[in-house]
């Protein structure tokens, strides 16, 4: 019985060693690059008791050699600013409010 188990074990090891193949996987790293362009005119004086609204146009463009996804994080000074903000994409579709842009 022990001889049979040893024979099965040895044949399994030999089968693994002789049927194994090495593979070469080649991975290339792309060159991702993005430009951020912000256009806005800051008002001369901001007062806390008024509705201080001004337009800020932020554009992000992939200028690298490869196509890529660009993730953006929007941070607002307070909830009023967030409520009065909207975003649009290059196709022209708009999200009326940043809260809806999930």
Tens of pLDDT, residues 59-89: 888 888 888 877 778 787 777 777 777 777 6
| Of 91 and 26, the one with more pLDDT | 26
Q: In whole angstroms, what is the distance from residue 64 CA to residue 30 CA? A: 9
75: which 2 tokens?
């941070």
What is the band of 58 on the pLDDT scale with cuts at 50, 70, 90?
Answer: confident
Which of 59, 94, 99 shows the shortest CA–CA distance to 82? Answer: 99
| Cβ(95)–Cβ(101) below 8 Å | yes
| Cβ(94)–Cβ(86) below 8 Å | yes
Q: In whole angstroms, what is the distance from residue 85 CA to residue 76 CA? A: 9
| Cβ(66)–Cβ(48) below 8 Å | no
**pLDDT of residue 2 exceeding 80:** yes
pLDDT number for residue 39: 85
The model's pLDDT over 16-57, given as tens digits with 9 standing for 90+, comes to: 877 767 788 888 787 888 888 888 887 777 777 666 677 778
């Amino acid at each position: 019985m022990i001889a049979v188990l040893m024979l099965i074990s040895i044949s399994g090891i030999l089968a693994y060693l002789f049927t194994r193949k090495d593979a070469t996987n080649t991975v290339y790293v792309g060159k991702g690059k993005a430009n951020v362009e912000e256009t806005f005119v800051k008002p001369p004086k901001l007062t806390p008791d008024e509705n201080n609204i001004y337009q800020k146009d932020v554009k992000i463009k992939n200028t690298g050699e490869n196509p890529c996804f660009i993730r953006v994080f929007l941070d607002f000074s307070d909830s009023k600013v967030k409520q009065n903000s909207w975003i649009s994409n290059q196709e022209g579709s708009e999200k009326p409010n940043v809260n809806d842009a999930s």
